[in-house]
Every structure is written in C-alpha cells, then in structure tokens.
Structure 1
Amino acid sequence: MLLRNKNAVIYGGGGDIGSAVARAFAREGAVVYLAGRNISTLQQVANEIKADGGKAFTASVDALDQAAVNQHLQEIVDQAHQIDIVFNAISIPQQGMQGVWMADLQPDDFMLPVVTYSRSNFITASAAARHMIKQGSGVILNISATPARLAAPLAGGMATAWAAIESISRTLAAELGPHGIRVVCLRANAMPETAMVQNVLNIFTQAMGMKDSEEFKAAMESGTMLRRLPAIREIAHTAAFMASDNASAITGAVINLSCGSIAD
C-alpha cells in the first residue's frame, strides 16, 4: 500500500473529485479525514470507505474560514499526532462565471472564483504547513485545470483562479522544501463524469451556439492528443502516487493530466 500509516485531510471531500481521491487514499492505506460544508455528503463517502475496509472521519469545515481550518487540523494532530497529506478539492457553482465573454463579465463575477479559490488554497495549505514544518515532513496537493495555461475563451475568472493555485503551489514548494515538505499541483482537463463539468459543458454549449453538450465535448476531445478527456479515477490514482514516498523527488511541479491538450 502506497499510503500505509499516513493521515490525509481532504477539503471538499464530499465532491466528485474529493471523494474519488479520498477513496483512492483509503485503498492505499491512509486514514482519511473528510472536510467540507455538507456533513451528510461527507458521511456518505466515509461510510463507503469504511464498508471497503478503510478508515475515515468527517468534520464540517468551511475551507474559507481560517479559524475553522486551524481548529480542525489541531484536533487531528491531537488525535493522530501527525498530518501527512492535505488535498484541497473545493469547488463553487460556475453559473454566471464561465460561459460569459470577458467584455460582458461583471467585476464581481470575475473576482469571485479568483478570491474563493486563492483564499481557500492559501488557508488550507498554510495551516497544514505550520504543522508539517514541526514534524519535518508532509505533502500538500492542489488541483487546477488547463485554462491556467491555455488561452481558453469564456473561462472568465476561473482561468486566473487556476493560475493562482499553480503559483501558490510553486511558492509554497520553494519555501517548504527545506523542511522536507513537498507541494504538487494536479492540472486536470474537463472530466465529464463530474456534475460540475456537466454543468459547464451545458453552459459552454449554449454560449457557443452548439446543438448539444456532446458536440462541445467532442470538440474538446479532438483538441487532445489522446482524443479523450481524463477520468476521475486517473486523477485519483495520480494523487495517491504523488502523495506517496514513491514520488519523493517531485515538488514544485504541475502534473499534466490534460490527456495532451497541453504539451509540457
């Protein structure tokens, strides 16, 4: 098992990506601490992990609330003595933020994802870092998307938000490396399995005047080298590997999971 005896905290643990990563971590032996605002959804994921023989705990935590994040992490340290992995997978609804031409986008709608994602990733990563510095080890994982690199239309402030996450990851990696802490960002492409991406596909389909979301999805797939989009399981498996000691030489990196829409 890649993550045996590791304690992993997942923010947004009830979402499509967060829950998939949590399951992958648990299968690899990690004790998983699911954090989010919807405790019933978190508990459902935790129950599934336990049914598969894993260990999972839940807590209602707003990842935008620094005091709440600090308190939750301290409670984990008090109980488990160490935090080995932190993964931030929070998301917000995209209606009104994507699918609008930049010239028509309102400033508040542009800034909402920039502020929300930047603040959340900063709060969770910096809070975890303070504990990891004391123990001299740890892995911080974040997730971004291809518009952080690509000149993609209609992405609004999300492209800036994802670019900010990647920048935060690189800065943290430079600062925390001497303390034995690694920071890695996963850059995904659209994952049609997720409810949020399905919503975004519908938004873009309407904005670009296409007949249906399948037409837009096909256009996205044709722009990748593999002629397909990534699956959630691929993101989850990569996250588990990046969090493991097998990836101990990797930090300050943005891992390309775009199926070849970007060539690094």
Structure 2
Amino acid sequence: MLKNKVAVIYGAGGAIGGAVARAFAREGAKVFLSGHQLAPVEALASEIVASDRFAEAAAVDALDEKALEQHMQSVIAKAGRVDISFNAIGVAPKEILGVPLADMDTEHFLLPITRYTKSYFLTARIAARYMIPNKSGVIMTVTAIPARSGTPTNGGYGAAQAAKEALTRDLSCELARHGIRVLSLRPHGIPETATMREVFDAKFKAGEMSWEQFRNYLASTTHPRRTMVLAEVANAAAFMASDGASGMTGTAVNLSMGALDD
C-alpha cells in the first residue's frame, strides 16, 4: 500500500509509533524514525532493516523546532521528499494524571496541552512546507477517547487530545487544496503497551482496582467486549496513509471499537 513512500515517524520508540513504523515498512515505505532517546529507535531500525526494508534512526526532540527542521532537511536530502508525517509522541502519565482538577495546579494542567499541541503543530507545519510544492502528502497523529469523553483525574490530557483533533481539522481545511490529507487516529486503550500500565498506576491507588479489573473494564466499554491490540492501530494507520484512503481527511478515525459513537 505504501510502496516507495517516504515516511517520518516521531515517537517511534514508543509502542504505537513503533508498531506504525513496522506496518509502514511492511507496506513498502522508507521509514525515518525519530525519538527523544536514540537507543529504542536504533533497535527498531535494525529490526526493520533485518526484514529487508529501509529504516533510519535519529534522536530528535519533537519539541525543538530547530532540531525538527534539521532532521527533516536530512530526510529530504536523502530521500528527495516526504510523503507521510506521523506524530506519536507521548507524555509520561505520572506527570499529568491522577490528580482531580480541583486540586491541580495550573502548570501541571497545561503541561500535556503545551507538549502535545506544540509537537503536533511543529511536525505538521514542517512537513506541510515540504509537501506543498509536491501537491501531495499525508499528515497524521494519535489522539485518544478523552478528546470526546469525560474521564476523571486526567488533568489536561483530554483537553490536549481535543486540541489536536481541532488542529487536524484546521490543517486539513488549509492544506487540502495542496493535495495534502490530515488525519488523527483515536484508538481505545491498549493494555499490551507499557503506557497503559503506567496510566493504571497513575490513576489508581493500591487496592482500588486490580490490573485485571482495569483490563476487564476497558473491554466492557467496547462492542466486541475485548481490548484493542497494537496491530489494529498500525494496520489502520497504514491504510489511512495510503492512496486507498484518499477520501479521508480532516477527521479523527474512530478506533474506539464502539466505545464512542460518531
């Protein structure tokens, strides 16, 4: 589906970013992986190269405008263009979750809003500037159910995800005339990721709920009564980045498995 496409993935060292990178590479894309720490993205790049696909890793701070621009320039110098920009950066749950809004200070409330939206804006803007001359491209990010559904002790996380979905719509509105599609993926909670366990630890005190009870709760909110797996998110991302999804732009792709009605 993505043969000869050039994809840049931010947050590739994380569970979702890594799964998407593997799916993009499997479908034929050249993947340029970046993360705050080099070791995880180097390991992922080596895994992809071992499967006879192209991957290159770099340490890039997705909040550093200069570093992002330099990295994109290196991608353009090597590959000639960028076709897909995928932002999967995250914020450590323990920094932003677990405190009621009435007890939260302003700094901690704003932390996820600032980090998530700044990173998405910077990576999208940089990609758009290189995509516009080619009249083609796909810009994508990951959001979450709290963008649309009230959830307790989430701090500014839900507001951050809602802001990213609004930015997706605005970017699409401006960039569609240049042949560029912009999408968000909104998956359900994925227990197989380390991040979801960190979310559980941040939001529940010892004895309030067991990990198994939490998993069962997540499953109970979906129509098939099971939890989502990484492969489902990655496969959806690969299709949405492909020409087969040319009619999709300016929206959040609902991967909540029925937990949210759109």
TM-score range for the pair, normalised by the shorter chain length: over 0.9
Length-normalised TM-score, structure 1: 0.97
Residues 10, 88 of structure 1: 8 Å contact kept: yes
| SS at 2:89 equivalent | coil
Q: Which amino acid aligns with 1:46?
A: A
Q: Which amino acid aligns with 1:144?
A: T
Write the deviation string for residues 103-123 of structure 1: whole angstroms up to 9, x where unpaired: 111211111000000000000
Shift of 1:251: 0.4
The whole-number CA distance in structure 1 between the counterparts of 2:221 and 2:230 is: 19
The whole-number CA distance in structure 2 between the counterparts of 1:88 and 1:163 is: 15
Write the deviation string for residues 175-229 of structure 1: whole angstroms up to 9, x where unpaired: 000000000100011111111111111222328x623121122122212222122
Structure 1 stretches of 4+ with a deviation exceeding 2 A read 202-205
Tell me the equivalent position of 1:22: 21
Instruction: Please list every run of 5 or more consecutive structure 2 residues that lacks an aligned counterpart in the other structure.
Output: none
Tell me the equivalent position of 2:199: 200
Tell me the equivalent position of 1:228: 226
| SS at 1:95 equivalent | helix
The whole-number CA distance in structure 2 between the counterparts of 1:14 and 1:211 is: 29
Residues 10, 18 of structure 1: 8 Å contact kept: yes
Residues 204, 216 of structure 1: 8 Å contact kept: no
The whole-number CA distance in structure 2 between the counterparts of 1:21 and 1:104 is: 37
Write the deviation string for residues 7-43 of structure 1: whole angstroms up to 9, x where unpaired: 0000011111111000000000000000112111111
Q: Does 1:254 align with 2:252?
A: yes
Tell me the equivalent position of 1:219: 217
How many residues are aligned here?
A: 262
Tell me the equivalent position of 2:164: 165
The whole-number CA distance in structure 2 between the counterparts of 1:96 and 1:228 is: 28
The whole-number CA distance in structure 1 between the counterparts of 2:204 and 2:218 is: 11
The whole-number CA distance in structure 1 between the counterparts of 2:95 and 2:167 is: 25
Residues 210, 216 of structure 1: 8 Å contact kept: no
The whole-number CA distance in structure 1 between the counterparts of 2:176 and 2:82 is: 16
The whole-number CA distance in structure 1 between the counterparts of 2:171 and 2:98 is: 32
Q: Which amino acid aligns with 1:133?
A: I
Taking only aligned residues, the RMSD between alpha carbons, in angstroms, comes to 1.1
Q: Which moved more, 1:219-228 or 1:240-249?
A: 219-228
1:254–1:206 distance in 2 versus 1, CA, 3 Å: same
Seq. identity, %: 47
Shift of 1:96: 4.0
Tell me the equivalent position of 1:9: 8
Q: Which amino acid aligns with 2:145?
A: T
